[in-house]
Structure 1
Amino acid sequence: TYEQSNLLYQEVLLDYQDERTQYRKLQKVKANPYFNALQVKFSYAITCHKSQGGQWNTVFIEQPYLPEGINRDYIRWLYTAMTRAKDKLYLIGFKDEYFED
């Protein structure tokens, strides 16, 4: 929530009270790796199933957990997901054996 984000900001700001100007304090907070690691940007996501029939400029596909291994349904799902991308496709968490050199 906004209140939680503001509270986090105020807590991190305490680390930079020795800075003379508000501008320098703000710059230090913005550069703080811990503060930045906790910032999440709002975005939209849909499932591969819901995306059928549509295309998007950029598509992110995360490797699902496959305790049973790869099967025909998974390959069909992956094909559908990959063909939704018009310009850019990002594969996240896929093992190297999925790719050729």
Structure 2
Amino acid sequence: PYFNALQVKFSYAITCHKSQGGQWNTVFVEQPYLPEGIDRDYIRWLYTAVTRAKDKLYLIGFKDENFEE
């Protein structure tokens, strides 16, 4: 039923909200579908997601224009 879902094998996956208060060595964050664009709630969600990583952070599906050089 979830054709565009990230498949995770031999590991654990939890939601960003469930991860609050925890940290992991490696974190994968997949860009969600944002039909109405970026808003304040999304920025809070993203902050929570990226600050869970201690060593490595992988951003999946984010567009290049979201980053500065």
Do they fold alike, i.e. is TM over 0.5? yes
Q: 1:82 to 1:40 in 2, by over 3 A?
A: closer
Larger Rg: 1
Q: What is the CA distance between 1:75 and its match in structure 2?
A: 0.3
Aligned residues, how many? 69
Partner Cα distance (1:98, 1:85) in 2: 19
CA distance in structure 2 between the aligned counterparts of 1:40 and 1:59, rounded to whole angstroms = 12
Assess, with a 3 A threshold, how the Cα gap between structure 1 residues 40 and 64 changes in structure 2: closer, same or farther.
closer
In terms of fraction of residues, the more strand-rich structure is: 2
Per residue, is there more helix in 1 or in 2?
1
Cα distance, 1:38 vs structure 2: 14
Larger RCO (alpha carbons 8 Å, 6+ apart): 2
Identity %: 93
Q: What residue is the counterpart of 1:78 in the other structure?
A: 46
Write the deviation string for residues 58-86 of structure 1: whole angstroms up to 9, x where unpaired. 00000000001000000000000000000
Cα distance change of structure 1 residues 52 and 96 upon mapping to structure 2, 3 Å threshold: same
Does the C-alpha gap of structure 1 residues 87 and 93 become closer, same or farther in structure 2, counting only changes over 3 Å?
Answer: same
Per the alignment, do residues 86 and 36 of structure 1 end up closer, same or farther by CA in structure 2, a change over 3 Å counting? closer
Superposition TM-score, scaled by structure 1 size? 0.59
Q: How far 1:53 sits from its partner (Å)?
A: 0.3
Unaligned runs of 5+ in 1: 1-32
Q: What TM-score do the two structures reach when normalised by structure 2?
A: 0.85
For residue 87 of structure 1, give the secondary structure of its aligned residue in structure 2: strand
Q: CA–CA distance in 1 between the matches of 2:6 and 2:68?
A: 35
1:37 to partner: Cα distance: 16
Structure 1 pair 100–49 and aligned structure 2 pair: CA distance change class (3 A): same
